Amino acid sequence: MDIAKNIEIIKEKIKAAAIDVGRNPAEIKLVAVTKTKPAEMIEEALKNGVEIIGENKVQEAYEKIPQLRGKFKEFHFIGHLQSNKINKLLELEPSLIHSIDNIKTAEKLNNALKKRNKIQNILVQVNTSGEESKFGIKPNETYEICKKLSEFSNLKILGLMTIGKLTDNKKEIEKCFETLQFLFNDLKSEYKDFKYLSMGMSGDFEIAIKYGANMVRIGSAIFGRRN
Ligand SMILES: *Cc1c(COP(=O)(O)O)cnc(C)c1O
């Protein structure tokens, strides 16, 4: 497993995909998804061009992030947030939470932030594939939920996140990303803080870039398959 080489290849592919559709590659941020991988492998990535790391489970992050502190630029939380894990997550000071998917948890998060006197950057997770197994709000709820979230004093919504459909059918994957891009562009005029469109993983980031992704979340293509 050559992590440095994998990062180099991914960065080249991001660049090529951006140029292919007339976009500036520099505007696309790479989030290295480090879930299930040990701290030593993550350090290897951080020495070789990775600046942002993403974890999807609070407990796992709680065990790894403190050891890596000072070595990464940003830690992002990308998984489903359970309300009983909010305080534990906030202790880790995530730069961005990609996965806000309901008002109830958001309200609890806001209350916890108030106590800490902190503002938290968040993205709203939209379920664009309609797959039951996936978290996220329905696309047609996005306007209403963004409006409610924007009323919480200590949350700052920076954009939207989605997970593309797990399929070999490129058209269906494109439909997911096209949906999120549409919502993002539509909301951007109203929400001045909107700047991140988080979509694309190891198998589909090049398609996501075609539809405007400026934050891609890549795990297995950097660190190898997970068990
Ligand atoms: C695991 C995960 C990824 C990365 O998936 P890969 O296919 O390994 O690149 C991206 N986003 C989220 C939300 C994830 O849970």
pLDDT digits (tens, 9 = 90+) for 120-173: 999 999 999 999 999 999 999 999 999 999 999 999 999 999 999 999 999 999
- Please give the model's pTM, rounded to 2 decimal places: 0.98
Q: What DSSP designation does 190 have?
A: T
Strands (E) in the chain, as ranges, are 29-33, 52-55, 74-77, 96-100, 120-125, 155-161, 196-198, 215-218
Q: For residue 227, what pLDDT is reported?
A: 83
* Å from CA of 113 to ligand 1 middle: 27
What beta strand segments (E) does 34-154 contain? 52-55, 74-77, 96-100, 120-125
Q: Which residues of the chain have pLDDT under 50?
A: none
Element (H, E) at 186: helix 170-188
CA 203 to ligand 1 centroid distance, Å: 9
**Which of 52, 78, 81, 199 has most ligand 1 atoms within 8 Å of CB, for mutation?**
78
What pLDDT, on the 0 to 100 scale, is given for residue 145? 98
User: How far apart are the CA of 222 and the centre of ligand 1, in A?
Assistant: 11
Ligand 1: distance of its center to the CA of 54 in Å?
Answer: 9
For ligand 1, is residue 218 a contact (CB within 6 Å)? yes
* Cβ–Cβ < 8 Å for 125, 88: no
